[in-house]
Amino acid sequence: MIALGGKMIPCYTVQRNLACIQRIVGGVRWTSSCRPAPLLTASPVRALIDDKISIRGHFLPPRCPVTVCAQMQSDDGDLWEAFAHFNTNLDGTVNLTRDPSVGGSYLGCEPMGLLWGLQPAPGAREGLRQMMKQAP
């Protein structure tokens, strides 16, 4: 619902009327001070340990520093983490396959750096090693 002149009208009516205006005028360009929420995508969603994963950030402020963090809980319940600092492009995106890390758990362009850079989280037990339990 949208309030216009103190009267509540359903949104679909406004959209239908705007569609009519667009047909008459020949196009309406929308500008908004709101931007989409930042989005982090990874593909494929499931992969084997030696498969490459593409991680990308979208809808970020242009030319802005961002930190991407990965956390994993081991079979024993211990927390492991890695992080990397990046600078977004002019279009507000970051691509971990293409863009170099400027700090964090690793430096440079390392597409799988967030995975091989995993370390025990601060305050974890001493002497932890990554080991997978055997399936029964």
What tens digit of pLDDT does each residue of 48-107 get? 777 888 999 999 999 999 999 988 888 778 888 999 999 999 999 999 999 999 999 999
Dist CA 83 CA 67 (whole Å)? 7
Whole-prediction pTM: 0.67
Query: What pLDDT shows up at residue 136?
Result: 58
Q: Provide, rounded to the nearest whole percent, the portion of the chain with pLDDT above 90.
A: 38
Dist CA 100 CA 109 (whole Å)? 4
Give bridge partners of residue 40 from the DSSP assignment. Answer: 57
Sketch the domain layout of the chain as residue ranges.
39-120
At residue 23 the predicted structure's pLDDT band, cuts being 50, 70 and 90, is very low
Does the domain made of 39-120 have the CATH classification 2.60.40.2240? yes
Query: What pLDDT shows up at residue 46?
Result: 86
